[in-house]
Amino acid sequence: MKAIYDNILRSISEEKKLLAVLIDPDKMKPEGLSGFMQKLNQSVATHIFVGGSTVDDYATEILVAEIKKQTKLPIVLFPGDVTQITNRADALLFLSLISGDNPEYLIGKHIKSISKLRDSNLEVIPTGYLLIENGKQTSVEKVTQTKPLSITNVQNIVDTAKAGELLGMKLIYLEAGSGALKAVPLEIISFVKQELSVPLIVGGGIRTKKQLEDAYNSGADLVVIGTAFEDDESFFNELLK
Ligand code: 1GP
């Protein structure tokens, strides 16, 4: 059933906020997965995203199959590369890095993925992906060879997000980068949200409940958190308080 995007829209219409836990196949050790999944299943998480900038071939497929056995939450691929696409997940963020000018990440990888997607059951969700400056170089920047958008030019970020929407992208994702020193500034979330009619995802560098709530209150519909859960699994409980 391809209902993940519709469910996101429904949650937003009911004013429910969404939280995706990002699992990076490169960092998650197989022996740690079941304890992690137990906590995740009891938490406020609504989605599981799986992906990373640099992941060994097949690692994603093996991990997704394991996660699937251990949860009822939707598993959404957030791929750094074509090799991370696996039919075992429920949906795929079909990311176009619209903050940059590298054709490979605007359309090139997408063409290369079609032989995998043609016969797949994955729900493919076109997503405009914007890398936002956070004070240090992120792996997305290194891998994609693109520059993040400057936080001093808010209008440019807003216009880029809006252009993504007008190109037909169904989600817009503001990304500070995994492990970012500074999360996406709240005023940027708020200005972008005011312009959009599609759901807004925000991620990168969010490590506290207060930051999460501030992101929601500024207009994020779905927040993605990876590093904070990787570093300290008690953060799952923290969010329940
Ligand atoms: C990265 O937005 C996600 O792509 C999550 O970032 O690991 O910093 O939570 P963190």
Is any atom of ligand 1 closer than 6 Å to the C-beta of 225? yes
Atom of ligand 1 nearest to the CA of 203: 2
* 215 annotated to a ligand binding site: no
Mutate to test the pocket of ligand 1, among 18, 19, 22 (most ligand atoms within 8 A of CB): 22
pLDDT in tens, 138-175: 889 999 999 999 999 999 999 999 999 999 999 999 99
CATH number at residue 75: 3.20.20.390
Checking if the pLDDT of 5 tops 80, the result is yes
CA–CA gap between residue 173 and residue 142 (Å, rounded):
19
Q: Tell me the mean pLDDT in the region 61-84.
A: 95
* Residues spanned by the domain of 199: 4-238
Atom of ligand 1 nearest to the CA of 180: 8
* 139 annotated to a ligand binding site: no
* 51 annotated to a ligand binding site: no
Number of domains the chain contains: 1
Q: Tell me the mean pLDDT in the region 199-207.
A: 98
CA–CA gap between residue 40 and residue 164 (Å, rounded):
32
Please give the angle made by the CA atoms of 204, 52 and 19, to the nearest 5 degrees. 45
| The pLDDT of residue 1 | 56
Model ipTM?
0.97
Closest CA relative to residue 88, chosen from 70, 76, 71: 76
3-state secondary structure of 183: coil
Q: Per DSSP, what are the bridge partners of residue 91?
A: 76, 123
Q: For residue 3, how far is its CA from the centre of ligand 1 (angstroms)?
A: 24
